[in-house]
Amino acid sequence: MCGIVGYVGSEPAGPIVYGGLENLDYRGYDSAGVALVEEPLTIAKRTGEVSELEVPGAPGATCGIGHTRWSTHGPPTDPNAHPHTGQTDEVAVVHNGIIENYESIKEELQEAGHDFSSDTDTEVIPHLLERELENGHDLLSGLETVVDMIEGSYAIAAVRAGHDRIVATRHESPLVVGHGDDASFLASDVTAFLDRTRDVTYLEDGDIARLEAGSVTVYRDGDVIDRDVETVEWDADAAEKGGYEHYMRKEIHEQPTALRQTLSGRVDVERGGVDLDVAFPQGYLESLEEIQLVACGTSYYASQYAAQLLEEFADVRATVDIASEYTFDGGRDPWRTLVIAVTQSGETADTLGAIRRAGGAGARTLAVTNTLGSSVTRETDDALFIRAGPEIGVAATKTFASQVTTLALLAADIGRQRGTLAATDAREVLEHLRSLPGAIQQVLDEEARVVAGAEQFVDADAFFFIGRQFGYPVALEGALKLKEIAYDHAEGFAAGELKHGPLALITDETPVLSVLTEGARPAETLNNVTEAQAREAPAVGVTDGTVETDSLDLTLEVPEIGALTPLVANVYFQLFAYHVADLQERSIDKPRNLAKSVTVE
């Protein structure tokens, strides 16, 4: 998730574009840059937050684009910062999203003599655009042609030296145009220019827009079309949260988009293949004896989910350790143990300590993280990115889903390479992964039912979450969410454990929330729910219809997608925790005593 900004009008563009970037820095803060339209273009870009960027004076430039980056391809370095230019610096481009087929385009351009100066997927776009200009296109028709060549998700804005206009397009990444009196604005999100105009047009996938001072023309398949102008009523703070009251709820709702990004370009269902940017040395996976996952908190529960997938798909022993408790024990040949640090931030001191111990003892190490360039990526042999975009709410939500999904891809990939996952089984797994965003959307559409459930149980004495198999880490994660944002007592248990002690805590004031879906041994779990109901506990169950749930106080439905069904069920638990906390007016995005990144041991 990056932020794009554009302005064309009668005032100097530099300060306006810079102001827009400052408003969008929550979308990424790895690097920032601007391109101001003069002859030639004036470009400034660098790593670091927007505040570290010095925007050139260029008082005569009244058109410009800008970008704040959350890295997906290529680490946060100055050359990888946007805007990108092609061979001749005639055009500059900013991009949010992923160009899936950039490698083949880059190869073809390099063979034709193009030199590249970054590791990004984006840089192919200005090269292609320049080639189309040479072929006689203008910037608009050039972009139309380029869009036919690229695959992936993108919002793109481009400018050309000496021409006061911006052309832009989108596919599965947001882009909104703002209409001023004598000016036009462009951004990933209205927050960027809300202080200048509230009249906006949301572009749709496939639209190509041309922005000039005070006029915006939208094209589709070469024809001019009308798009509605809407007036935004939100204040700047609400707009940054996409109209939601809290980042956490926004991030819960972002999960379908985040997961599409996680999966983008990595899944080939037809072939039953997975394409990750991690290449293990020849023969390594065949000789692999064990995979150890180390993590904390939510990342630890995501790892517990993933370890089961690794054992199932890759037929390898997989263990999970709380990072602060971890000691490496890797047998006679430590290299045959792969140790995976799972950490959203990449900065968690406990996890860094654990992976250092593993690497120091001779194990091969891999980071699974959301943060390019983070400390963990410098400690490990390889890194795999979950691509969830920045997460601002302290309680992890979308990153849990993206961690499990990325690790499921890894498990399928290792399984295919070790020959333990047949192509037909892999196809089924990948189909399920591909249907995850849609399945989660179905849950989000049922939010009103969760609100009613939260209202019913908000005054409970305590909450118990139970599940088996993949439902067990989801139960633990559900309880953690409720604890951290609602400050209510909540515990997650393996469903079968309830009768070995915790059942003594059950009363008519302690709701039991359960995962009753495929991948969570629903029939056995339902027996445990019945045991709790016999002690008068109210029962809430997430079900995919495989077991009879008529006796429950609240049933929440999910579509069945194999071993990933409990991951979908988890979204109900996230919403439940959110609404219980909201009803109690808790500080949801910044719960007391907690920090987003825990950099002390």
Task: Enumerate residues 2-41 that contact ligand F6R by CB under 6 A.
Answer: none
Closest C-alpha to 484, from 470, 463, 515: 463
Binds ligand F6R by CB under 6 A, chosen from 28, 33, 64, 297: 297
Q: Give, in order, the Cα–Cα distances in Å from 347 to each of 299, 388, 411.
A: 13, 16, 24
Closest C-alpha to 183, from 443, 61, 9: 9
Question: Is residue 232 a contact point for ligand F6R (CB under 6 A)?
Answer: no
Residues contacting 120, CB < 8 A, separation 6+: 73, 74, 80, 82, 84
Question: Is residue 395 a contact point for ligand F6R (CB under 6 A)?
Answer: yes
Closer CB to ligand F6R, 130 or 484, in the complex: 484
Q: CB of 272 within 8 A of CB of 426?
A: yes
Binds ligand F6R by CB under 6 A, chosen from 296, 340, 433, 564: 296
Binds ligand F6R by CB under 6 A, chosen from 65, 396, 408, 529: 396
**Window of 108-116, 197-205, 279-287, 293-301 that interacts with ligand F6R by CB under 6 A:** 293-301
Closer CB to ligand F6R, 38 or 484, in the complex: 484
Cα gap 517→558, rounded to integer Å: 8
Tokens of 196: 């200048």
Catalytic residue status for 106: no
CB of 440 to ligand F6R, least distance (A): 18
Task: Enumerate residues 89-148 that contact ligand F6R by CB under 6 A.
Answer: none
Catalytic residue status for 499: no
**Window of 252-260, 296-304, 434-442, 577-585 that interacts with ligand F6R by CB under 6 A:** 296-304
Closer CB to ligand F6R, 316 or 396, in the complex: 396
**Window of 27-35, 269-277, 297-305, 459-467 that interacts with ligand F6R by CB under 6 A:** 297-305
Question: Is residue 255 a contact point for ligand F6R (CB under 6 A)?
Answer: no
One-character DSSP codes across 250-267: HHHHTHHHHHHHHHTTTE
Closer CB to ligand F6R, 386 or 537, in the complex: 386
Q: Do β-strands 215-220 and 31-36 pair in parallel, antiparallel, or remain unpaired?
A: unpaired
Contact characters 326-365, ligand F6R, x per CB under 6 A: -----------------xxx--x--x--------------
Residues contacting 534, CB < 8 A, separation 6+: none
Question: Is residue 544 a contact point for ligand F6R (CB under 6 A)?
Answer: no
The three-state secondary structure class of 367 is strand
Write down the catalytic residue from 2, 45, 250, 398: 2
Question: Is residue 304 a contact point for ligand F6R (CB under 6 A)?
Answer: no
Question: Is residue 299 a contact point for ligand F6R (CB under 6 A)?
Answer: yes
Position closest to ligand F6R via CB:
297
At residue 320, what are phi and psi to the nearest 5 degrees?
A: -130, 135
Q: CB of 274 within 8 A of CB of 409?
A: yes
CB of 394 to ligand F6R, least distance (A): 6
CB of 374 to ligand F6R, least distance (A): 9
Q: CB of 28 within 8 A of CB of 80?
A: no
Map 541-592 to HEC letters: EEECCCCCCCCCCEEEECCCCHHHHHHHHHHHHHHHHHHHHHHCCCCCCCCC
CB atoms within 10 A of CB 215: 13
Strand extents, DSSP E, 507-548: 512-516, 539-543
Write down the catalytic residue from 63, 398, 590, 596: 596
Task: Enumerate residues 464-503 that contact ligand F6R by CB under 6 A.
Answer: 480, 484
One-character DSSP codes across 344-358: SSS--HHHHHHHHHH
**Window of 92-100, 170-178, 294-302, 547-555 that interacts with ligand F6R by CB under 6 A:** 294-302
CB atoms within 10 A of CB 102: 21
CB of 359 to ligand F6R, least distance (A): 17
Closer CB to ligand F6R, 185 or 326, in the complex: 326
Question: Is residue 68 a contact point for ligand F6R (CB under 6 A)?
Answer: no
Cα gap 313→307, rounded to integer Å: 10
Q: Give, in order, the Cα–Cα distances in Å from 320 to each of 9, 183, 382, 547.
A: 56, 55, 19, 30
CB of 584 to ligand F6R, least distance (A): 18
Question: Is residue 598 a contact point for ligand F6R (CB under 6 A)?
Answer: yes
Chain residues that interact with ligand F6R, rule: CB under 6 A: 296-299, 343-345, 348, 351, 395-396, 480, 484, 597-598
Residues serving a catalytic function are 2, 596
